[in-house]
Amino acid sequence: MNLREIVPLCIAAAFAFLFVNGPKLGAKQATICQAFFPVTRNKWPCQDFRSNLYIGRGTEWKGAPDFFMSLEDESSALSPLLRSGTPKLHVRSLVIADKGDSIDLIMRRAGRNNSKWNNPSTVAPTEPDSVIGTIYWQTWGGQDGGGNGWTALAGKNSRNGSIRTRACGNQTNTNRGGRMQFATASQGSTESTDRLEIGCDGKLRYNFPDKGWKVIAPDANGILRAQ
């Protein structure tokens, strides 16, 4: 059988598959959408992609893809992409805009530490002092043992700086307390250190190298001083 005969057969087989399985696939997609967006009727159709998704030019450096949605849930040090045990969306640049409304960038967390991502029974209020979310910065540079990468030492984050929010107390219908921490890495260090915190009590604290954490507040002259 030559190529001219094989191609039409493949096309015919694909159409036959869609004709037979199309309704089943559509029902499957509708069920998935209903689970995430439980309304009587969805206005727009929903497509279910059970695969990694790449959109881009294909010639960019693989450590910074144009757009890549990875569903892999295994940690790996073999890729310049971040593979730390959960699916990740990698995008070169992001612009968020709206018309007639303010822009929201929302970071949420539910469940206790290490609860399974696909087990609804483990959905519970966030535990006290749990990290709700972190924004952090990393640079590409030398690694222990040679070569370059995002982390200087194996198993370390090597963050140049970060902003992190933690839960204050039990998260209830009368409490959504939180504290925010700001960290930077000193020159000559590969790990960031917490420097400044807006505490659960609303007070501002600074981590002095020689004094540790101290509340800083304005004195009678309006000058910020350690309390």
Question: Are both 217 and 158 inside the same structural domain?
Answer: yes
Q: Say what the pLDDT of residue 24 is.
A: 47
Number of domains in the chain: 3
At 126-167, the pLDDT tens digits run: 999 999 999 999 999 998 888 888 889 877 789 999 999 999
Let me know whether 112 and 220 are in one domain: yes
Q: For residue 122, give both structure tokens.
A: 């483990």
Q: What is the DSSP letter of 172?
A: B
Which residues, including other chains, have CB under 8 Å from residue 207's CB and lie 6 or more apart? 193, 194, 195, 196, 197, 213
| Residues of the chain under the 70 pLDDT cut | 1-31, 39-42, 75-79, 83-84
**pLDDT number for residue 34:** 73
Same domain, 38 and 145: no
Whether residue 216 sits in one domain with residue 126? yes
Same domain for 166 and 115? yes
pLDDT for the residue numbered 2: 52
Same domain, 13 and 67: no
Residues 208 and 135 in one domain: yes
User: Do 126 and 182 share a structural domain?
Assistant: yes
The domain in which residue 6 lies consists of 1-48
C-alpha dihedral, 96 to 100 to 102 to 104, nearest 10°: -50
Residues 23 and 85 in one domain: no
Catalogue the long-range contacts made by 127-132 (C-beta closer than 8 Å, 24 or more residues apart): 127/167, 128/167, 128/168, 128/169, 128/170, 128/171, 129/166, 129/167, 129/168, 130/166, 130/167, 131/164, 131/165, 131/166, 132/107, 132/108, 132/165, 132/166, 132/167, 132/178
Domain check: are 17 and 67 in the same one?
no
Q: What is the pLDDT of residue 8?
A: 53
- For residue 217, list its beta bridge partners: 225
Using alpha carbons, select from 39, 155, 213 the residue that is nearest to residue 205. 213
67 shares a domain with 4: no
* 113 & 217 share domain: yes
